[in-house]
Structure 1
Amino acid sequence: MGSCLSAEASRGDEVGRLHRHRYQSCPLPTLDPPAPPPSTLLQLGAAGAPAPKGKMAEMEEAKMEMRLHRVPGRFFLNASTHSASLFSKQGKKGINQDAMLVWENFGLKGDAVLCGVFDGHGPNGHMVAKQVRDSLPLKLKAHWELNSCRTECSNASGNFNPTGISEPINGKHKNNISQNCGEKRYDVFPTLKESFLKAFKLVDKELKVHPYIDCVNSGSTAVTIVKQGQDLVIGNVGDSRAVLGTRDTYGSVIAVQLTEDHKPTLPREAERIRLCKGRVFALPGEAHVARVWLPNSYSPGLAMARAFGDFCLKDFGLISVPEVFYHRITEEDEFVVLASDGLWDVLSNEEVVRIVASAPRSRAAQTLVDTAARAWKTKFPAAKVDDCAVVCLFLRSRSEGNDAHSSIDTQPSTDLTGTSKSGQ
């Protein structure tokens, strides 16, 4: 991430080395950073000068983590909780730029759970991902509480008018999912959808003026989910993904993709970028990976159409507006897997649900990460293994579910493109 193209590399080595790098050219030159705010002058280095910008970001990040670490039910390290399993592993590209979160007892009611996976990219991607992980849930929680109060007042006065419902995007199973929503979806979805939109917008605004994290050429994805009772609301920006493991009419566990990867190849994404004078094309050595470029420069080459940060592209079609989806949990639904593309690049949706369904709940996320690491070495031996973060949210209690040996449908995945994702 953040590396330059090498003119000396052979085509085969180049493809392997560059596979799935988010940035493929030299970072844009940036202006000298502004003078630090007065508060930073208290943080002096050995020579009496203010601490470097990166060090200040690390110190602020550590302070935030210490405060949030004390919040009951909030997990961001490898763990197994009452309702979830989460695991992250550094790849071979340098510092781990993935972050993850499970927050139980989230929001207004005790049965709410928030989960998220955040995949950073660029020189400061690890800091952006952690900042989004720490900041987004707090803003989402605050807006949700405020919007819920407004909705209750509106309902009491008889003026409640729910907005449209987004559906899971897997066409094969979209109908039976969306038709099982019932009336209760109107209690949760409109308020949470508005909360997601406001929270994502505010987080990106704060990143733009962040005093310690340079987000000009760095950014992060975010796939987040709130479960309250039988309601799931998913907010997504970027190419991390949420996949539901559910049972079909034969009792076999199958995969239903709940989010859409925001790739520049999507027609609506490419159209928006081009209308804003950005460019979308793939490099000759990796024709399968479309990227976003500035109008008059071969930079930065971002492999997604939506992201937090990356402000060098925000005037040229890149956005941080989330797509928000709703799903009403049924008796057939078993779990949801949230993961960065370090998982989805080497394992198909069906392979992922097969692994989770057959693994002990406490080790489900780790089993996925370990399997992905082996798959990287097998499928892309010339490439560096990518970072990987996984959250498995279980929709049934331990007494209802079975930790292993679920029946699995072995039919090939029919996701967005109708083809297996394992070879991307």
Structure 2
Amino acid sequence: MVDDSKTTTSPDVNSKREAELPELVSASKKPRTLAEEKQTSEANNNSNNVSSNENADSSQENEHKDKNVEERRLSFAVEADAAEDKGSRHTMEDAWVVLQDASLDFPGKLRCAHFAIYDGHGGRLAAEYAKKNLHRNVLSAGLPRELLDVKAAKKAILEGFRKTDESLLQESTAGGWQDGATAVCVWVLGQTVFVANVGDAKAVIARSTVVDGSQHNSTTTDSLKAIVLTREHKAIYPQERARIQKAGGTVSSNGRLQGRLEVSRAFGDRQFKKVGVVATPDIHSFDLTERDHFIILGCDGLWGVFGPSDAVEFVHKLLQDGLPVAVVSRHLVREAVRERRCKDNCTAIVIVFRKK
């Protein structure tokens, strides 16, 4: 597996950083387009509202709809844990957050859980800064704490990302550091999940294709589908390339911004902000139903050696064997690094939804 680094160092970066970030062109990956992901996600989100038999009579259709309404009322417990390994890198530049109760100084009636992975490049400072500040900034921006308001929640997440990057750039200028960090974040508000990302870290959900208690607890993965909830932001992708070029940046033949940075959205990276790098996230939300089993968050190191379906199958088997979530996450990372030879930093969070 090719070691997939996000940045190519420049002459003004010290030798230690050059050793940590070798100049390598990333392995070719065929991304799913945003349209494809939206179609897949929407199709699965809406599948509950479609009768399995196109020729069913109206009474059957109404019964199916009633079942789906009841399904949305189900209450879910959330369990999660993280694991990490620096791989063959000299240092660990990832940071992560697992907060079952993420209300902090903003208490409310609405359940608030938060999980995130920040994948640093060129150092760990930006990742640590985002870890310490993003969630609090999102809460301060008005993340709903009493009654769910999807529009208000997305607005708060967007503002939280903006404020975090703005203050991070001020800190990095004062401190003279230039590293950056990608991010994949999840908020669970009540029974609604919000996913936000910048860069190439991903979130994948394992979702049943049928609503059936026996199938839900099946030991097979025949009825379980892996759905990517995030969109990668890389300079080589047409939509991102166009935005970069409009900002005055260039994408070199190696697919990197200014020949150096692979990702096109990230926290920090202040030397690239004037040529198209932004910290504006893609945000996706959905209501939990009985069909939703678990979410896997991972940095690009994990997804470099695991495909979405492969990871879902791996985690599902361990959960069916009765292993705790903490053990499952450790097994996933160990498999990625020791067995599949992930050379990059590798961090994963497994978030399990259990019906009450």
Distance in structure 2 (CA, Å) of the matches to 1:226 and 1:111: 10
Residue 121 of structure 2 is aligned to residue 121 of structure 1: yes
2:186 to 213, 217, 225: 225
State the 1:148 CA deviation: 6.2
Distance 1:27 1:356, change over 3 A: farther
Contact 1:235–1:324 at 8 Å: present in 2 too?
Answer: yes
Structure 2 residue identity aligned to 1:142: S
Q: C-alpha separation between the residues in 1 aligned to 2:78 and 2:193?
A: 18
Work out the number of aligned pairs and report it: 274
Q: Equivalents in 1 of 2:114, 2:89: separation in Å?
A: 29
Asked if the contact 2:112/2:145 (under 8 Å) is kept, the reply is: no
Is 1:235 matched up with 2:196? Answer: yes
Deviation at 1:332, TM superposition (A): 0.7
> Larger relative CO (CA 8 A, sep 6+): 1 or 2?
2
Alpha carbons of structure 1 residues 277 and 215: separation in structure 2 relative to 1, 3 Å: same
Once the two structures are superposed, the pairs formed by residues 71-150 of structure 1 within 5 Å of their partners are 83-107=79-103, 108-109=108-109, 111-122=111-122, 125-145=123-143
Deviation at 1:235, TM superposition (A): 1.2
Which residue of 2 is the match for residue 167 of structure 1? none
> How many Å apart are 1:328 and its aligned residue?
1.4
CA distance in 1, matches of 2:253, 2:149: 41
CA distance in 2, matches of 1:386, 1:29: 20
- The letter of the residue matching 1:292 is L
Matched, 1:24 2:24: no
For 2:187 and 2:120, locate their aligned partners in 1 and report how far apart those are by CA, in whole Å.
21
How far does residue 131 in structure 1 lie from its aligned partner after superposition?
1.1
**Secondary structure of 1:390's aligned partner:** strand
Structure 1 residues 227-376: aligned runs within 5 Å: 227-249=188-210, 251=215, 252-283=223-254, 290-293=255-258, 298=259, 301-359=260-318, 360=323, 361-376=325-340
Please list the CA deviations of residues 198-247 of structure 1 after superposition, one character each: whole Å capped at 9, or x if unmatched: 1111111111111664443x100111111122201111111100000111
Partner Cα separation in structure 1 for residue 117 and residue 290 of structure 2: 26
Q: State whether residues 355 and 364 of structure 1, in contact with CA within 8 Å, keep that contact through their aligned partners in structure 2.
A: no
Q: Deviations over 1:29-76 (max 9, x none)?
A: 79xxxxxxxxxxxxxxxxxxxxxxxxxxxxxxxxxxxxxxxxxxxxxx
Contact 1:128 1:220 in 2 (8 A): yes
2:350 match: 392
Give the TM-score of the pair, scaled to structure 1: 0.61
In 2, are the aligned partners of 1:207 and 1:215 still within 8 Å (CA)? no
In structure 2, C-alpha distance between the alignment counterparts of 1:220 and 1:87, rounded to whole Å: 18
Secondary structure of residue in 2 paired with 1:105: coil
Deviations 1:268-326 (A, max 9, x none): 1110001112111343xxxxxx2111xxxx5xx11111000111111111111111111
Q: Percent sequence identity over matched residues?
A: 26
Q: 1:307 to 1:348 in 2, by over 3 A?
A: same
- Shift of residue 375, structure 1, vs aligned partner: 4.5
Q: Is residue 140–residue 195 contact of structure 1 (8 Å, CA) maintained in 2?
A: yes
Runs of 5+ consecutive residues of structure 1 not aligned to the other structure: 1-14, 31-80, 153-186, 284-289, 401-424
Map 1:162-177 to 2 at 5 A.
none
Deviations 1:82-134 (A, max 9, x none): 61021111121211001111112223346221000000001xx2121111011
Residues 282 and 344 of structure 1, relative CA distance in 2, 3 Å threshold: farther
Instruction: Give the AA of the match of 1:388.
Output: C
CA 1:256 to 1:271, structure 2 compared with 1: closer, same or farther past 3 Å? same
User: Are 2:78 and 2:354, in contact at CA under 8 Å, matched by a contact in 1?
Assistant: no
Pick closer, same or farther for the CA change 1:320–1:28 going to 2, 3 Å: farther
| Aligned-partner Cα distance in 2 for 1:120–1:310 | 10
Whichever residue aligns with residue 199 of structure 1, its letter is G
Inter-partner Cα distance in structure 1 for 2:7 and 2:253: 12
